[in-house]
Chain A
Amino acid sequence: MRRQGNGANVAGGTGSQGAQNGYWLLAPTLAVMALGLAAPLGLVAVYSLKNQTGISLSEGWTLAQYGEVLGRASYRTLFWRSLGISGLVTLVTVLLAYPMAYFVAFKARRAKFVWLIALTIPFWTSYLLRVFAWKIILGFDGVINSGLMRLGLIDHPLTFLLYNPFSVVVTLAHAWAAFAILPIYVSLEKIDRSLLEAATDLGDGPLRRFLRVTLPLSMPGVIGAAVLIFVPTTGDYVTPTLVGGPAGSMIANVIEIQFGRIGNWPMGSALALVSMTAVALVAGAFVLLARWATARVR
């Protein structure tokens, strides 16, 4: 609050008036957040503490839903698979995005802007179309299979390409690439070039310099990219529905079924909240781990 007052002070007016102006600027966002996020979330929390018989909710409060969510083995499998798949997606995406971001930040001299636009080209088509595109590429009669068969490299179509965790990881990694490239690019771009020269001057070859200066200083971008990808992909249900098959289905698919076909809203709510908590814990742990690792670099 104090910080805001000070910030607004510079813009003009007295402190309290400035703070008030600041809140007015926030008001539209706050209203949307309250109505669109806080209220539904509260409702979900209430639902999760109820029991449902038929179509009527119980009067009292109960932790029965949570007991079942945490107790049932099939749910646990889905949780671990969701975290595993999105963890893998995060890893793959960040690893592939880093060299691209590095290239644009350090090697593309004049054409930086063109490169940045080019990297967002996949986003000019809809998410759904991109997922379908992967279905066509990876499918039984898909681009890869028919290509390999035409070349005579295989006799029967490969079946491990689609409807499993692998296809989910590939599709999600491609879909989220730009969300990883941009924050990493920004953090690389911000690095003062004289720091890299100083590292060279102090005896570091290119690899040591990268590990000791470039990488630690770009960690904020890497952490940002990782969180930005991990959080939404854990809860994604479009991609697993379309390319995942039974072996590649994730927790969001079950939540969708509970709210939809089965119509057990308390169960769906409890699953959603547990999933949110798990994502928050993993993301928090990751941030702490990355900070710790950065601090160890010398």
Chain B
Amino acid sequence: MAYLSIRQVSKAFGGPPVVDAVDLEVPQGRFFALLGPSGCGKTTLLRMIAGFETPDSGTIAIDGEVMNAIPPHLRPTNMVFQSYAIFPHLSVFDNIAYGLRKLRLPKNELKARVEAMLATVRLEGLSGRGAGQLSGGQRQRVALARALVRQPKLLLLDEPLAALDKRLREAMQVELRQLQRQVGITFLMVTHDQEEALSLADQVAVMNNGKILQVASPRELYERPNCREVADFIGEINFFHATVKAVDGDRVTVNGGLLGVVALPRANILFDAAVGDALLLAIRPEDIGFADAGLAGTLAASTFLGETTLFQVQVAGRSDPIVVSNYFDPPSKDVHLNFPPDMLIGLPES
């Protein structure tokens, strides 16, 4: 039984559906990410879970309770807004205590809970600060603390790190991950940054055009994407058109065009392929090697990334260059590429 359960949820704003018959199950106590390009419907989905938008159809249930008819202020969810939405007229303490006032706790208990939360997000000693005196990272911590102090069943994060600069973002990624483990609350994060989703989440749902394409662990998404769109969205990848020639035992032989005839493991074909089917061979840049023999090409450009370098290799009979990642520069501009068959995966030709 999933903790958050979304069934056939659709939403349109007077045009084509922004969220299109989405099914999604989020397990309890995990860090879950909704990943997709801007405009794919992920934020609308998040806002429907929070109650700020109502679904046109379908149901949203949290912990077995259907939420559709429950107004946002009574839902067991809390949100970290993209802009953080820190109340400018209140101090840090009052911002965090905001959602607790209704409980009419004794003064010292309220204070204890807020102080404990301040310590959790490492903002000790700042409780008296005004909202205007905080840095971007501090504002984010206040927003987190304000939401977490209510002990929601589900914490919703809307692009939580997008407003921070790169260094701070990387530091906060680690902290956010630790924080989730520490408090054990289910986190549901929306992001367009694939690196952020892969490094933070236990599970990632990739969304595009209002539909969920794949739900998987970060490693599986990267290594075994189930379609071209997911493969393309998560990191760099090269595609080759191919057809299935033969299926025998645990090997599948394909005619890979420029790659010639290749036999790859059956497990690498990520759909039900039969002889004669068209398929898309995909391989990550780091899996392609420079070799003495193999597909011949010329180096068109290279981008130095620090640890590795990304090379664009132009090959006869193919318009877009093949992207190769390597630690060392090849000896000359004329290179030969080696494609290990075990690293190739086969996707349905869409």
- List A residues at the B interface (Cβ < 8 Å): 192, 194-195, 197-205, 208-209, 212-213, 216-217, 294, 297-298
Contacts and interface: CB of A to CB of B under 8 A. Distances in A.
B73 to A, nearest CB: 5
B71 to A, nearest CB: 8
Contact of B78 (A202, A216, A297): A202
**Chain A binding site: helix, strand, loop or mixed by DSSP?**
helix
B194 to A, nearest CB: 25
Nearest to A195: B85
A201 B72 contact: yes
Given A201-B78, A202-B78, A298 B85 contact: no
A110 to B, nearest CB: 14
B98 A217 contact: no
A203 B90 contact: no
A201 B50 contact: yes
A197 B81 contact: yes
8 contacts: A197-B52, A197-B81, A197-B85, A198-B79, A198-B85, A198-B146, A202-B78, A205-B73
Interface in B61-103: 71-74, 77-79, 81-83, 85, 87-90, 94, 97-99, 101-102
Contacts of A298: 90, 94, 97-98, 101
A71 B28 CA distance: 78
A-B residue pairs, 5 tightest by C-beta: A202-B99, A198-B85, A194-B85, A200-B73, A201-B79
A203 B102 contact: yes
B141 to A, nearest CB: 15
A120 to B, nearest CB: 30
Interface residues of B, number: 26
A50 B90 CA distance: 52
A232 B85 CA distance: 38
A194 B83 contact: yes
A212 B95 CA distance: 11
A197 B47 CA distance: 10
A201 to B, nearest CB: 5
B89 A217 contact: yes
Contacts of B90: 298
Contact of A201 (B73, B83, B87, B94): B73
B81 A203 contact: no
Contact of A192 (B72, B85, B147): B85
A216 B50 contact: no
B52 A204 contact: no
A133 B83 CA distance: 50
B72 A200 contact: yes
B150 interface: yes
A94 to B, nearest CB: 19
Given A213-B87, A216-B89, A217-B88, A198 B72 contact: no
Contacts of A217: 88-89
A210 to B, nearest CB: 13
A298 B74 CA distance: 20
A234 B90 CA distance: 35
A192 B83 CA distance: 10
Interface string B130-173: 00000000000000001100100000000000000000000000
B150 A203 contact: yes
A202 B88 contact: no
Contacts of B147: 201-202
Given A201-B79, A203-B102, 4 more contacts: A197-B79, A201-B78, A208-B102, A213-B87
Contacts of A204: 73, 102
A242 B46 CA distance: 61
A203 B99 CA distance: 6
B87 A195 contact: yes
- Of A200, A202, A205, chain B has the most CB atoms within 10 Å of the CB of A202
B187 to A, nearest CB: 15
- Of A192, A208, A297, A298, chain B has the most CB atoms within 10 Å of the CB of A298
Nearest to A217: B89
A52 B85 CA distance: 64
A5 B172 CA distance: 40
Nearest to B75: A201
A203 B73 contact: yes
Interface in B191-208: none
A52 to B, nearest CB: 53
B81 A194 contact: yes
A198 B81 contact: yes
Contact of A297 (B74, B89, B102, B150): B89
Contacts of B71: 205
B114 to A, nearest CB: 12
Contacts of B102: 203-204, 208
A195 B79 CA distance: 12
